[in-house]
Amino acid sequence: KAGVTQTPRYLIKTRGQQVTLSCSPISGHRSVSWYQQTPGQGLQFLFEYFSETQRNKGNFPGRFSGRQFSNSRSEMNVSTLELGDSALYLCASSLRQYNSPLHFGNGTRLTVT
């Protein structure tokens, strides 16, 4: 079974631009979550979706948004990029609605210059 697939693997953007990251979950998984990983803050939860509904959101500004499609694929968008948005963005999928192990993709490395 294919794992979680994230595209692209690397992105370089300029301050003020916007970016869209994509995530395809493991087949059959309907829960998708997103995390930001930085050296200073570690792994921080962004949001979680189940059946196209955002059920939980982390403490990030409104510039960070996401959505989930009917096939469970998910995208996250960051608008008006700042230097501090440079990070590894990790997507994870889970089989069940609650208390289900998260399986992570290899991430998208975003660099903002």
Partner 1 sequence: GEDVEQSLFLSVREGDSSVINCTYTDSSSTYLYWYKQEPGAGLQLLTYIFSNMDMKQDQRLTVLLNKKDKHLSLRIADTQTGDSAIYFCAESSTGGYNKLIFGAGTRLAVHP
* Comparison of 14 and 59: residue with beta carbon closer to partner 1: 59
CA separation for the pair 113, 45 (Å, rounded): 24
Shortest distance in whole angstroms from residue 80 CB to partner 1: 26
3-state secondary structure of 98: coil
- Site of interaction with partner 1 (CB under 8 A): 4, 6, 31, 33, 35, 42-43, 45, 48, 50, 55-56, 90, 92, 94, 96-107
Amino acid at 77: N
* Comparison of 8 and 16: residue with beta carbon closer to partner 1: 8
* Comparison of 73 and 79: residue with beta carbon closer to partner 1: 73
Shortest distance in whole angstroms from residue 6 CB to partner 1: 8
Shortest distance in whole angstroms from residue 16 CB to partner 1: 28
* Comparison of 79 and 102: residue with beta carbon closer to partner 1: 102
Question: What's the gap between Cα 32 and its chain centre?
Answer: 8
The tokens describing 103, both together, are 């399986």
CA separation for the pair 43, 35 (Å, rounded): 6
Query: Torsion-angle region of residue 95: left (phi > 0), alpha (psi -120 to 50) or beta?
Result: alpha
